[in-house]
Amino acid sequence: METVPIANTNTTTGERTHEVEVPTFGLGVYLMQEPGECKSSVLHALEKGYRLIDTAMAYGNEHEVGEAIRESGIAREELFVVTKLRQPHANSHEETLERCQQSLENLGLDYMDLYLVHAPPKDPSARPFVWQGMEECLSSGWTRSVGVSNYGAHHLDAMVSYSTVMPSVNQIEISPWLQRPALRAAIAGIGAVPMAYSPLARGHKVEDPLLGRIAESIGCTPAQAAIKWCVDAGAITIPKSSNPARIEENLGSLQVDLSGTEVDFASLEGSYVSGWDPTSEP
């Protein structure tokens, strides 16, 4: 599995700190709500070669991710585990530390690889304190890296005034139907890497006729073409599937060559948001 280095850049000196390697592709586990669904999906994915798992306290399945990791027998250092501080829990420095510890307990892990603020805290005055809590999670070794999710360019800009290190990752919705070149450039501008969630627009767009034609022309499935577009755009990409065959199909996207499809992919752009979009919150 290919990896990409991420780092938390020192806000004052620009020095890259806490550099870690992240697989460019992984499994998202949102809406795996039936008991055992998340565990069996993660186990299947790990068996087939996935090494990055993206969960969140909000998904209610961190414990199943942990169980699958233990049952897989794969060495902890070969895996990359991402979880997130819920937006309703993102209120203070203290609560950030408490929730990080709770996530570690749920996962049954000593450390996570990447801890994200799930979305900009609702109260803008809480944002500096929450981020200082994230920085303490990093310096305490509870996580190897810290980042954000659903931050717009204005949220990232504001962080310069209150952070010691900038986020290593901004996890946002990116898909061929929501390409976000300006926000991706803003993320690169702070030394961070985008992580693409909902690369299939939550499954809403897998039947898109143009995507179907692109896929047919290069000999892959529509989902594989959409996922590979996100990877090629430089985003760590985390499609969700609880279906064993689709878990394998999605991994197969990494073998797909999209050469010659650039113009067609450009015409899929439609500012299509499949779920929520806190990047535009104040």
Ligand X SMILES: NC(=O)c1ccc[n+]([C@@H]2O[C@H](COP(=O)([O-])OP(=O)(O)OC[C@H]3O[C@@H](n4cnc5c(N)ncnc54)[C@H](OP(=O)(O)O)[C@@H]3O)[C@@H](O)[C@H]2O)c1
Residue ranges that bind ligand X, judged by CB under 6 A: 28-30, 54, 118, 149-150, 171, 197-203, 206, 223, 238-243, 246, 249-250, 275
Q: CA 181, CA 233: separation in Å to the nearest integer?
A: 9
Give the shortest CB-234-to-ligand X separation in angstroms: 17
Give the shortest CB-203-to-ligand X separation in angstroms: 3
Question: Under a CB-based contact definition with an 8 Å cutoff, are residues 26 and 171 in contact?
Answer: no
The residue among 239, 195, 221 whose CA lies nearest residue 31 is 239
Give the shortest CB-169-to-ligand X separation in angstroms: 11
User: What interhelical angle do 62-72 and 37-48 show, nearest 10?
Assistant: 40
Give the shortest CB-225-to-ligand X separation in angstroms: 10
**59, 115, 151, 197: which one is catalytic?**
59
CA distance to 171, 177, 207, 275, per residue, from 204 (Å)? 20, 11, 8, 10
Give the shortest CB-105-to-ligand X separation in angstroms: 20
Q: CA 166, CA 217: separation in Å to the nearest integer?
A: 41
Residue with smaller CB distance to ligand X, 179 or 198: 198
Give the shortest CB-136-to-ligand X separation in angstroms: 22
Residue with smaller CB distance to ligand X, 16 or 206: 206
Residue with smaller CB distance to ligand X, 144 or 205: 205
Whether 197 is a known active-site residue: answer no
Alpha helices in the chain (DSSP H): 37-48, 62-72, 93-107, 127-139, 153-159, 181-189, 209-218, 222-232, 244-251, 262-266
Residue with smaller CB distance to ligand X, 17 or 278: 278
Residue nearest to ligand X (CB): 28
Q: CA 147, CA 167: separation in Å to the nearest integer?
A: 4
Residue with smaller CB distance to ligand X, 49 or 139: 49
The residue among 136, 166, 143 whose CA lies nearest residue 22 is 143
Positions annotated as catalytic residues are 59
